[in-house]
Amino acid sequence: MSELTPGMPLTQLSEEEQFFYQTVRDFAQEKIKPLSTQMDRDAKFDPAIHKQFFEMGLMGIDVPEKFGGAETSFFMSILAIEALSYVDASAGVMVDVQNTLVNNCFKNWGTPEQHAKYFPQLTSNKIGAYALSEAGSGSDAFALKTRAVDKGDYWELTGQKMWITNAGEAEIFIIFANIDPDKGYKGITAFIVERDFEGFSVGKKEDKLGIRASSTCELILDGCKVPKENVLGEVGKGYKVAIETLNEGRIGIGAQMVGLAQGALDAALKYTQEREQFGKTLASFQAVQFSLAQAATELEAARLLVYNAARMKDAGINFIKEAAMAKLYASQLAQKIASDMLDLFGGYGFTKEYPAEKFYRDSKIGTIYEGTSNMQLQTIAKLILAK
């Protein structure tokens, strides 16, 4: 096993898992970190990194080997997301969406024919995106207005999707539309849409506070023609596809926030042991030591929540409550740690000369996407009160 580095998560990891985590984090440190500041400034991910994600097998971690995947486990996806996010949360979320949302959606709901067609593309060179949200449909996910009309030989989709992660680079999209609004959520259906389908286009790219290298765009469906065989799951069962997939995706966001928080903490650990005030290092002061110790302790609790939810998923145990708890706590804690660690940098923390401000900006999205904190609390409350 390679030499362990600071912040290495040993909790609950086998030697194989430790090696995988370390390999991904070494790659992130060597290849992504030198580009991270420029990618953040330009709000554009370097396409050379995309290629390396595929070459390393990070875009098909839990996909069967016969389709080009690594065929490991959902937990390994979580480790990869955490390791990448330690360096750059934008890298983490790209791999997160590909594995926990898109690939999982195909794996759980796709037909053998869809597996044979799309998995080899998703594991070799094509990025995927998951499109549920709309301008008037965020937390109220099933208020979506995008329509799908049966035209006999194909489905015709019309509408607009908003805030779609990976949309700038993606070539395969899972898009949710309603075939019959009178049926409410029971009319929602999932469709596989390719970027070059007639009537489909990627619209405005959002100018964001954080995870700026990650593309977030609108999708425009103007009479988009989708083949009948590109329904993912059953017609009218898209709500089940959406809910079950997002339950898994929330664990991925928890991992992203754990990785980010560890990166912020380790940056502060390094800085406080180098920076001197009043004739001694900042780390010599008890108040600073206590702040670092508190962050490390709470971060380990968040990591345990995330790992536990991922292990439960792999074991086939109901993990909905645990996933919501992991996402809730990890995202809230990442903001707190990123903020507290920035304070330890003093005035330097408020500049782009040091990484603290980027960790702080990137952390904010965690409590918003793939279910806000209030939605996680609602899920948790519903499940504990049902007992």
Question: SS3 for 158?
Answer: strand
Q: Environment class of residue 302 by beta-carbon count within 10 Å: exposed (0-12), middle (13-18) or buried (19+)?
A: buried
* 65 assigned to active site: no
Q: Are 340 and 348 in contact (CB under 8 A)?
A: no
- 267: tokens are 């940056």
List C-alpha distances in Å: 190 to 126, 203, 239, 241, 385.
Answer: 19, 20, 8, 7, 31
Q: Is the dihedral of CA 285, 291, 297, 299 positive or negative?
A: negative
Chain centroid to CA 352: how far?
24
- Whole-angstrom distance, CA of residue 190 vs CA of residue 18: 36
Catalytic hit among 134, 169, 298, 370: 370
First to last CA, the chain: 44
How many residues appear in the chain? 387
Going by the DSSP 8-state scheme, the letter that residue 134 receives in this structure is B
Pairing relation of β-strands 172-178 and 188-194?
A: antiparallel
123 alpha carbon, distance to own chain's centre: 17
Q: Distance between CA atoms of 25 and 119, rounded to whole angstroms?
A: 25
Alpha-helix residue ranges (DSSP H) falling in the chain: 15-27, 33-42, 47-55, 74-85, 89-96, 104-109, 112-124, 238-274, 286-315, 320-344, 356-363, 373-385
d(CA 273, CA 259): 21
Q: Which residues are catalytic?
A: 370
